[in-house]
Structure 1
Amino acid sequence: MDAEASQAQQQPNSESKRKGNNTGEKQHPPSILGLALPSISLFLIFNLVNLAVIKIVATLGTAEVAAVTTGSRIFFIVYAGIMGLSAGATALIAHAWGAKKPQEAALLTSLSVKLGIALSIVTSLIFMYLVPQLADVFQLTGPAKEATIDYVRFSSAFNANFAIIVLITSALRATGDGWVPLYITAFCNALFLPFCAALTYGWPLLNVPELGIRGTALGGGIAYVIGSILTWILWRRHCLQLPYQSSNLKQDWQAVKKLWHISYPAIAEQLVIQIALFLFLTVVATYSTEAFAAYGVGLGILSITIVIGAGFGVAASALVGQELGAGNPDRAIGIGYRTLFWAVLTMTIMGALTIYFATPLASFMVNDPEVIRLTAVFLFMLGISQPLMAVDFALGGALRGAGDTRFPLLSTFSGFLLTRMAVALLFKFLGLSVEWIFGALIADYIVKAVLIFYRFYSKVWLRPHMPGN
């Protein structure tokens, strides 16, 4: 890192001082719930919008619904890189913020945004080229395949804008500001759905043509463009808690290497999750269409519980990182355990409610009796796994906030691929029913929860933050 950048990290620029709202020292440390609640709301909005997009295209036909569903699966792989980079950046930014180095946090944010844009462009080009082959993997033919190709290619043009929003808002959460990211996301989605609907079906009053599935992709993309420009302007003009700092990938190469060193295991973890989900789905699909549908419906219903866990994971990551940056390892440990308490409490309650109302919830979503029965079974399996998932979310987030991104990768690989897939394939080999396949996920969550809890309890993750390291 060059001398000018180093000096900038130690001395906030004069404009930042005039604003008086982004110097790290003047901010009160956020509470766990104060950071978790807006994060949960943000993730919930994202999930609800995804469901609403399916509702928008449902009138067009099953081919378009298949296109959006398949496109979402493909984009999860593309977004894995962005989310992994975000996890690594969050750890470093939170650490710098806790150490009262706001300009270093700003520099890391700037570098993460540039890396995120580059990563999203490369992955988008790859998937735009490969989408016909990927459609074949999902066994799509005819109109469904053509609609998927259109949807993915048009949507991919805006992935860089999505990356800008995700990385800047993640950086804000790392500083303890969970509400501004929520406002930005709410604004983007307030544009997202109307634009999608208008360009999908047309708007004669404004001479907007009917573009079908391409319009759905373009409408969402335009919302991302507006949202990314707004987010960048707010940051560039020092309207956010996090100050703006320019960066140069070449001159700040040491910081880039540090960011990548923390981020690439988190990126790999996201890729492992997507690969394992795909493989598990293929096993479920070998039983029946009803089993496949039940799996999808069950995950949709449980998404509310999952976003609760994700919100507490974000809070743990940011707050643990800040406390370690401030030189308070004991407080970092305490935050991890308190976050675990809240995550287990809320997710256990939600899991119990889901089990109790499993059949009515399944009946609300679908009409097929067999799908309803299998969905209720799957919800039961997921419901009793909620406390285990809470351990993974809360303490996994704490470890990532401490910069220990490799162990969550190891636990995910061990639980998802080595345990869930091995157990599922064993049950399949023994000729057991699909209900047993659903039960394999319990073994996955047990393994991950035990590994993550032991790692946090061992305090090995604290060693790099002890004096002399």
Structure 2
Amino acid sequence: TADVAMVGLALGPAAIAGVGYGVPYWTMTFMLGGGIAGGTISLVSQRYGAGCYNDIGRAVKVSVGAALLVTLPLVVVFWTLPEPLIRLIGTGEEAIAYGTRYLRVASLAMPFAALNLIGSRTLIGMDDAWTPMIVRAGGAVVNVAVNAVLIFVFDLGVVGAALGTVLGSVGGVFIFGWGFAKGRLPFIGALPVQIDWALPHWDARDARHLARIATPLALRKVAQNGGQFPLLAIVGLFGPNVVAAFVVALRVRALMNTPGWGFGLASSSLVGQSLGASDERQADDYAHDTLRFTVATYALVGLGVCLVAGPISALFVAEEAVQGTTTALIRAACVSVLLWGVMNGAMGPLRASGDTTWPFYGQILGLFGFALPLAYLGAVTSLGIWGLYGTLFVETAVPAAVIYYRFQTNTWKRISRQHREAAVGNAS
């Protein structure tokens, strides 16, 4: 989000739109890694809860191998073919040029971003959320500082923003990898696990179990973020200023979604550990408590951002003509993000138990059944910009309803029993 603001202030709406065209490709790969990391936290938390500490490292190494197998081929594609990919969804030659330069360089960060997710999910699955927070927060601070220097001092523009992302991601992987190898980190102390990075790095049984859990998670995330391609193509029909405003609203919504990552992962960790210990009642208590905290937090965050939507839009765009549209879309995103809170809160126990198929169905339904048609209606009828307001809402409301329904049925507890023997029994 900070890099978008810096690029916008330095180069204007066309650069924001260009970065916005490149971000979905980068994010799609990032989310593939996130799906694998979701399987990692399920394996790690259940083994940790069952006391199978010596087998956690094997699950982590299998996850690392899977992440590299998935992301490295995409790096090659995005490095060699950035312009044709940007043109698939982009409009305006200036914005396409910016997007091409951004995507080529940012693609180098993709494998490292996926490995960062696996590192953080591993620790969170063992009750250590503090270390990932320190590492990721430190990386974010360095990223912002490097971006500022590269964009404003060296005048590298969107390339500088992409380089900052690459350097921050590489640094995070180095810290996680070194810390796991040593079993501790300077200034932080001992980690809950020490991993021997020597061969073998692959275990067929763990890989199969990881695939069963992670594949629906990865597909859901690809659908969620891959949907940005046709969505941005439709938004492009409104013109470059609306594209810039919409991209800003999406980035602000993503920033508001930050607490959900913490709550959702905490739920997955606590629920997974309880399931690993065969204590379903405690797992249920953790699941419901986290859901309530998550929704309450999102309500406060959404209200706060809605009240200052105008000043926030001014941080990203200087043109008054764009600021009004940006402010309105940010306020729509504030309503939308509340439903994202429901998704994150209810998703935690489903992810921990391995019940990951229904969330994928909900994401597909929300995107292709509601969000994209509504955006298109706004572009071609008198509905206009209201179609985009509605798009932001239904994009989260529909999957939230599906995920919450599945959570309330308690089917995830039954499914957890099926996965538990594979996750813990194979490790014994």
When normalised by structure 2's length, the TM-score is 0.85
Q: Deviations over 1:268-306 (max 9, x none)?
A: 111111222222233333234443333223233333321
CA distance in structure 2 between the partners assigned to 1:195 and 1:450 by the alignment = 40
Q: Which residue of 2 aligns with 1:291?
A: 242
Q: Which residue of 1 aligns with 2:7?
A: 54
Given the alignment of the two structures, is residue 82 of structure 1 paired with residue 33 of structure 2, yes or no?
yes
- The correspondence for 2:195, drawn from 225, 229, 244, is 244
Letter of the structure 2 residue corresponding to residue 180 of structure 1: T
1:349 to partner: Cα distance: 1.9
1:259 to partner: Cα distance: 0.8
Structure 1's unaligned 5+ residue stretches are 1-46, 204-209
Q: 1:361 to 1:221 in 2, by over 3 A?
A: closer
Structure 2's unaligned 5+ residue stretches are 185-190, 422-428
CA distance in structure 2 between the partners assigned to 1:145 and 1:291 by the alignment = 16
Q: Which residue of 2 aligns with 1:26?
A: none
Q: 1:435 to 1:60 in 2, by over 3 A?
A: closer
Given the alignment of the two structures, is residue 91 of structure 1 paired with residue 91 of structure 2, yes or no?
no
Q: Which residue of 2 aligns with 1:351?
A: 302
Given the alignment of the two structures, is residue 234 of structure 1 paired with residue 234 of structure 2, yes or no?
no
Given the alignment of the two structures, is residue 312 of structure 1 paired with residue 257 of structure 2, yes or no?
no
Q: 1:276 to 1:461 in 2, by over 3 A?
A: same
1:376 to partner: Cα distance: 3.8
Given the alignment of the two structures, is residue 462 of structure 1 paired with residue 407 of structure 2, yes or no?
no
Task: Note the 1:9-408 alignment, pairs <5 A.
Answer: 47-48=1-2, 50-51=3-4, 54=7, 59=10, 68-139=19-90, 145=96, 148-196=99-147, 217-218=162-163, 220-239=165-184, 240-246=191-197, 252-363=203-314, 365-408=316-359
Letter of the structure 2 residue corresponding to residue 233 of structure 1: W
SS of the aligned residue for 1:157 comes to helix
Residue pair 2:362, 2:403 contacting (<8 A) in 1 also: yes
Residue pair 1:111, 1:249 contacting (<8 A) in 2 also: no
Residue pair 2:26, 2:110 contacting (<8 A) in 1 also: no
Letter of the structure 2 residue corresponding to residue 230 of structure 1: I
Q: Which has the larger radius of gyration?
A: 1
User: What CA RMSD, in Å, does the superposition of the two structures yield over aligned residues?
Assistant: 3.1
Pick which of 434-443 and 98-107 moved more.
434-443
Q: Deviations over 1:196-217 (max 9, x none)?
A: 55566778xxxxxx87765654
Pick which of 393-402 and 375-384 moved more.
375-384
Q: Which residue of 2 aligns with 1:8?
A: none
Q: Which residue of 1 aligns with 2:425?
A: none
Q: Which residue of 2 aligns with 1:434?
A: 385
CA distance in structure 1 between the partners assigned to 2:249 and 2:157 by the alignment = 29
CA distance in structure 2 between the partners assigned to 1:197 and 1:376 by the alignment = 25
1:245 to partner: Cα distance: 4.1
Q: 1:93 to 1:277 in 2, by over 3 A?
A: same
Equivalenced residue count is 414
Q: Deviations over 1:20-49 (max 9, x none)?
A: xxxxxxxxxxxxxxxxxxxxxxxxxxx44x
SS of the aligned residue for 1:286 comes to helix
CA distance in structure 2 between the partners assigned to 1:395 and 1:466 by the alignment = 19
Q: Deviations over 1:62-113 (max 9, x none)?
A: 7766654443332112212111111111112111111111222221111111
When normalised by structure 1's length, the TM-score is 0.78
* Identity across the alignment (%): 23
Letter of the structure 2 residue corresponding to residue 89 of structure 1: T
Residue pair 2:7, 2:158 contacting (<8 A) in 1 also: no
CA distance in structure 2 between the partners assigned to 1:202 and 1:433 by the alignment = 40
Q: Deviations over 1:361-401 (max 9, x none)?
A: 44554454553443343334333344422211110122112
1:251 to partner: Cα distance: 5.9
Q: 1:419 to 1:315 in 2, by over 3 A?
A: same
Pick which of 108-117 and 386-395 moved more.
386-395
Q: Deviations over 1:184-203 (max 9, x none)?
A: 22333444345455566778
SS of the aligned residue for 2:81 comes to helix
Residue pair 1:420, 1:440 contacting (<8 A) in 2 also: yes
CA distance in structure 1 between the partners assigned to 2:153 and 2:325 by the alignment = 39
Q: Which residue of 2 aligns with 1:32?
A: none
Pick which of 322-331 and 353-362 moved more.
353-362
Letter of the structure 2 residue corresponding to residue 102 of structure 1: Y
Pick which of 113-122 and 329-338 moved more.
113-122
Q: 1:426 to 1:125 in 2, by over 3 A?
A: same
CA distance in structure 1 between the partners assigned to 2:243 and 2:259 by the alignment = 25
